[in-house]
């Protein structure tokens, strides 16, 4: 088999003779002991062209390693003892296979129970239905919410488990709400529906019992007992309370003080008992003035409006120029005290402030403790 001579590239004074299949293998120079790669020398120096006794060391024959059939064509270095033989190339079937890593498996989330979702939505509609009943046209809006919640609850009855129970509960609540809105509107501060109109004689001004709510007919000249009844006409209900005693006044920077003298306080409440329209108020009903208000003692002598220092004022209530359905405008008026022997006062209110043509009359007893009964 042909041989090659490889010269050390570092010292050029030593070399190695090896079989030609050892090209590319590593060998050690016999002169400088440096490691170099065996490459055939095309133009060897003169000393390398001599006899076997020259400085070139001839590599002892090395038996070619037997490799698998797939590796016979791979270059193999076998030379002198100074030559390092390269590692054999293993066939593909003998190479170690990389470990296969499997990604952790996650179970997909369970699908949402749509039946339970609809049942909860039906439950949530109960709140908006109740709140809407107190707004203008609230009775109609509340019926729409309640009807939607009832249908949603009934649809959930075909589900199972919690969805069915929740749907049944939502349907029951909305059904009760519809019954109250249609047949018991007074529970929500509304008049009955148009199909349940009041008797003809009660469409005008009438008295309403404070305890039972029962109406009673009155004439424009009647004096109503303020401790037992309210005055009502249409959607307007007026209630009067009276008290005699010292007042707490509010001054600059939130200062408070109590008067030594007693005063008569009238608390006049105007309530909108309707369910659709806002009730416009003016004059005394909106706390704008005392025009149209006349207070008489038991001897029919008028009482004067109380006056205070400019920086001090008593409580004036919570008046408003428009009362929404179910809401109240409260006005507190302060007068000089009645005589000590008086047990009641007569209060005359102009009906124009609440949109009524007739005067509103009350006979009001009062508490001597200064607080409203």
Set out the domains of the chain in order of their start, with CATH numbers: 3-91 (no CATH), 114-188 (1.20.58), 199-367 (2.60.40.1240)
Residue 198: the pLDDT is 44
- The answer to whether 119 and 166 have CB atoms below 8 angstroms apart is yes
Encode the chain in three state secondary structure: CCEEEEECCCCCCCEEEEEHHHCCCEEECCCCCCEEECCCCCCCCHHHHCCCCCCCEECCCCCCCCCCHHHCCCCCCCCCCCEECCCCCCCHHHCCCCCCCCCCCCCCCCCCCHHHHHHHHHHHCHHHHHHHCCCCCHHHHHHHHHHHHHHHHHHHHHCCCHHHHHHHHHHHHHHHHHHHHHHCHHHHCCCCCHHHCCCHHHCCCEEEECCCCCEEECCCCCCEECCCEEEEECCEEEEEEEEEECCEEECHHHCEEECCCCEEEEEEEEEECCCCCCEECCHHHHCCCCCCEEEECCCCCECCECCCCCCCECCCEECCCEECCCCEEEEEEEECCCCCCCCEEEEEECHHHHCCCCCEEEEEEEECCCCCC
pLDDT at res. 129? 78
Distances (CA, A) of 169 to 151, 174, 240, 364: 12, 9, 42, 48
Q: Phi first, then psi: what are they for 330, rounded to 5°?
A: -115, 125
- Measured distance CA(77)–CA(65) in Å, rounded: 10
Question: Is pTM, for the whole model, over 0.75?
Answer: no
For the chain, 373 residues long, give each residue's pLDDT as a single digit of tens: 677 888 888 888 888 888 878 888 888 888 888 888 888 877 777 766 654 444 444 444 444 444 444 444 444 333 344 444 444 444 555 455 666 666 555 556 555 567 777 778 877 878 887 777 777 667 788 888 888 888 877 877 777 778 788 878 888 887 888 888 777 766 665 554 443 444 444 678 999 999 888 899 988 889 999 999 999 998 999 999 998 889 898 988 888 999 888 998 999 999 999 877 899 999 999 988 888 999 998 888 999 998 888 888 888 899 999 999 989 999 999 999 888 778 889 999 999 999 988 899 999 987 655 556 5
CA distance 166 to 115: 9
pLDDT value for 52: 40
Token pair in block for residue 124: 């949530």
Give the long-range contacts of residues 170-173, CB within 8 A, separation 24 or more: 170/119, 170/122, 170/123, 170/125, 170/126, 171/122, 173/123, 173/126, 173/149
Tokens, residue 206 = 């009438």
Residue 219: CB atoms within 10 A of its CB come to: 8
Query: d(Cα 293, Cα 349) in Å, to the nearest integer?
Result: 5
> Tokens in use for 221?
């000249």
Q: Which of 170, 177, 168 is nearest to 123 (CA)?
A: 170
Please state, as a whole number, how many other Cβ atoms lie within 10 Å of the Cβ of residue 280.
14
Q: Which of 216, 116, 96 is nearest to 156 (CA)?
A: 116
Question: How many whole angstroms separate alpha carbon 357 and alpha carbon 237?
Answer: 14
């Amino acid at each position: 088999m042909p041989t090659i001579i490889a010269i050390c590239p570092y010292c050029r004074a030593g070399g190695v003779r090896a079989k030609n299949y050892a090209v590319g293998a590593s060998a050690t120079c016999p002169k400088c002991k440096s490691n170099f790669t065996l490459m055939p020398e095309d133009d060897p120096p003169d000393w390398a062209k001599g006899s076997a006794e020259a400085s070139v060391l001839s590599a002892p024959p090395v038996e070619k390693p037997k490799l698998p059939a797939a590796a016979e064509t791979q270059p193999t270095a076998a030379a002198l003892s100074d030559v390092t033989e390269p590692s054999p190339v293993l066939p593909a079937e003998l190479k170690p296979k990389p470990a296969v890593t499997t990604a952790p498996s996650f179970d997909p989330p369970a699908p949402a129970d749509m039946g339970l979702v609809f049942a909860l939505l039906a439950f949530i509609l109960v709140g908006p239905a109740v709140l809407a009943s107190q707004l203008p046209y609230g009775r109609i809006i509340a019926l729409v919410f309640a009807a939607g919640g009832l249908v949603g609850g009934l649809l959930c009855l075909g589900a199972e488990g919690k969805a069915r129970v929740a749907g049944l509960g939502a349907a029951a609540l909305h059904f009760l709400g519809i019954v109250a809105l249609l047949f018991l509107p007074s529970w929500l501060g509304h008049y009955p529906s148009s199909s349940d109109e009041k008797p003809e004689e009660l469409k005008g001004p009438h008295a309403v019992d404070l305890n039972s709510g029962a109406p009673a007919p009155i004439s424009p000249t009647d004096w109503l007992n303020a401790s037992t009844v309210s005055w009502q006409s249409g959607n307007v209900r007026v209630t009067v309370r009276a008290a005699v005693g010292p007042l707490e006044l509010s001054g600059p920077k939130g200062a408070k003080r109590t008067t030594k003298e007693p005063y008569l306080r009238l608390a006049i409440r105007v309530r909108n008992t309707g369910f659709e329209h806002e009730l416009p108020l003016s004059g005394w009903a909106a706390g704008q003035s005392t025009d149209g208000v006349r207070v008489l003692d038991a001897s029919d002598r008028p009482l004067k409006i109380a006056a205070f220092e400019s920086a001090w004022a008593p409580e004036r209530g919570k008046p408003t120029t428009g009362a929404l359905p179910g809401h109240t405008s409260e006005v507190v008026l302060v007068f000089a005290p009645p005589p000590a022997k008086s047990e009641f006062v007569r209060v005359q209110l102009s009906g124009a402030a609440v949109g009524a043509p007739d005067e509103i009359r009350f006979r009001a007893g009062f508490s001597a403790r200064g607080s409203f009964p």
